[in-house]
A and B are shown apart, each in its own frame.
Chain A
Amino acid sequence: GAVVSQHPSRVICKSGTSVKIECRSLDFQATTMFWYRQFPKKSLMLMATSNEGSKATYEQGVEKDKFLINHASLTLSTLTVTSAHPEDSSFYICSASDRYAEAFFGQGTRLTVV
């Protein structure tokens, strides 16, 4: 199947700094990618839909100025957590659908804000 790669897989940052997470579709083009957040022992919650060449669509309650999404090409979407705080610590997962509309997930990024 198709491959979606996330980088980094793990990051620790200081409170107040910004962190960028990359999501790449390695062998297919994705006009739409999705960013999810997973709290410990909880399910995945959709944060936003990343649209290539246009603004991301954020779910209710997700601060768009805090979680900046850029989908500059058909194979890359980035999520930047700005001015990170400890409560932003979480597991972030991206997904993309191939031409058969099957969703493939990245391996996830564990963010720890200290």
Chain B
Amino acid sequence: AQRVTQPEKLLSVFKGAPVELKCNYSYSGSPELFWYVQYSRQRLQLLLRHISRESIKGFTADLNKGETSFHLKKPFAQEEDSAMYYCALTKAAGNKLTFGGGTRVLVKP
């Protein structure tokens, strides 16, 4: 069975500090991994996907198949990064997503 684990429910950092959100997964094949973000009073939206290998809003995430991890990082957090972040996986793009429990990020001034 596929499973996504986000061990931190809340991360509180100061503006300008680095932030790392952990995500571990279990899946028997080669899944596609995503990070979704939900800002206050807004809908869930895609932040980045591992196949793109791009940086969005300063965030990057590297897929580590050996450790089955897909941690999200940003070297200098901004106040506007305060949001709920969900790690998710799917067996193939366009298919159903399995979400982690979510991590709330609070960036303090």
- Chain A contacts to B: CB under 8 angstroms: 32, 34, 42-46, 49, 93, 95, 97, 101-108
Contact = CB atoms under 8 A, between A and B. Distances in A.
Contacts of A44: 44, 86, 97, 99
A93 B86 CA distance: 14
Interface of B: 43-46, 49, 86, 92-94, 96-102
**Interface majority SS on A: helix, strand, loop or mixed?**
strand
Nearest to A99: B94
Given A44-B86, A46-B96, A97-B94, A103 B46 contact: yes
Contact of A49 (B49, B92, B96): B96
A105 B43 contact: yes
A24 to B, nearest CB: 14
